[in-house]
Amino acid sequence: MLTRINQKNGEELSILGFGCMRFPTRAGGIDESRAIGMIHNAIEKGVNYFDTAYIYHGGKSESLLGKALVGGYRERVKIATKLPPFMVKNLDSAKKIFNTQLERLQTDYIDYYLLHMLTDKAGFDRLSDMGVLAWIEELKAKGTIKNIGFSFHGAKSDFEQILRAYPWEFCQIQYNYMDENNQATKDGLILANELGIPVIVMEPLRGGKLVTNLPEDVKKAFAECNRDRSPAEWALRWIWNHPQVNVVLSGMSDEAQVEDNIRIASDSHANSLSSEELGVFDNVKRILHERTKIPCTACGYCMPCPAGVDIPGCFSHYNDKYLIRDKGIRFQYYRNLGAVAAQPSYASQCKDCGKCESHCPQKISIRAELKTVSKEMESILYKAGIAIARKVMRIK
């Protein structure tokens, strides 16, 4: 496992971080035995940075990680977790959340503590005015928090303002070969480096979109250059090629992903991609940008929907219609979103409340896009067929 030095504190961090938002699941919850096994295997093979959050897996992610790190593992890793600003009504509520996090994680200190999902300077100012930053600084002075940072989803100009607003000890941004000019952007990555702020990268595979169901011409472009590399390996190596990146988080959901990512991280050095390999990315980005309709990463922050819409699922099927051009995608849309379930989750169920949009890191106009998805994916013939099937099966 390769490591890179945190320029703020001299710590050696594994270039691969374990994102704890996509653990394997079973019966609607985390498959604990598998997830703990994956965590232990990752630690034994050199991963020492684990990223979770108060809201991941419905609040169960921190507890699972805490359980996995007993028995001597805690001392071998760095824990990163996050304070959700949208749940902080006052300083007391922030303190309550933090104390709950310590209990869940079974620890008395947090190595890397983030303000979760800041989108603009106003969000930072709100927490600062509330006294949250001053309180976190007190915890840092006591050793309860070791490093103070933030995760970001917003525009480049807002990222730069937040970077300069506080003496941050690290930051976390969405960055991959499709988002080089979105959100914080490459310019933001370079600015953070110039300011001496370590950078943790999230969504390296764009929620799996840069791995599954890629267009055949994208697969061909990658294979013609190096047939032995998977799309995931191509995407990860592109990020690690940037010397400004300290850690890349991967939300690994099965044992094979852990093994493969660790293998890739064993020799992914900065500035190691050839001009030919970089040229492949230029071609791939052009192809994907032409076909992706909605920039959803399936992070799930928009969920649950009060009307029962599976928002990421709707967008995923709609994008797949253009990315892979599968003639059976409309059938898959109905099947996967509950055609014969007691509570389906189609785009047309949207009640236009707008609750989802305030939580979307990508700033997607979700309600408008759901109308488009409904129009293009929910044909009259399919609706009629589903209605008949539900009647035959006596599903109300």
Lowest mean pLDDT among 196-210, 222-236, 252-266, 287-301: 287-301
pTM (global) more than 0.85: no
pLDDT of residue 20: 98
pLDDT band at 337 (very low <50, low <70, confident <90, very high): confident
3-273 placed in CATH 3.20.20.100? yes
Vertex 194 angle, CA 191 and 200, to 5°: 65
Q: Does the pLDDT at position 341 exceed 70?
A: no
Of 340, 342, 357, nearest to 306 by C-alpha is 357
Lowest mean pLDDT among 161-170, 186-195, 202-211: 202-211
Residue range 85-100: average pLDDT?
Answer: 96
pLDDT band at 394 (very low <50, low <70, confident <90, very high): low
The predicted-structure confidence for 252-264, as pLDDT tens digits, reads as follows 999 999 999 999 9
pLDDT band at 382 (very low <50, low <70, confident <90, very high): low
Instruction: Outline which parts of the chain fall under CATH 3.20.20.100.
Output: 3-273
Strands 3-5 and 25-26: unpaired
Cα separation, 356 vs 304, whole angstroms: 8
pLDDT band at 300 (very low <50, low <70, confident <90, very high): confident
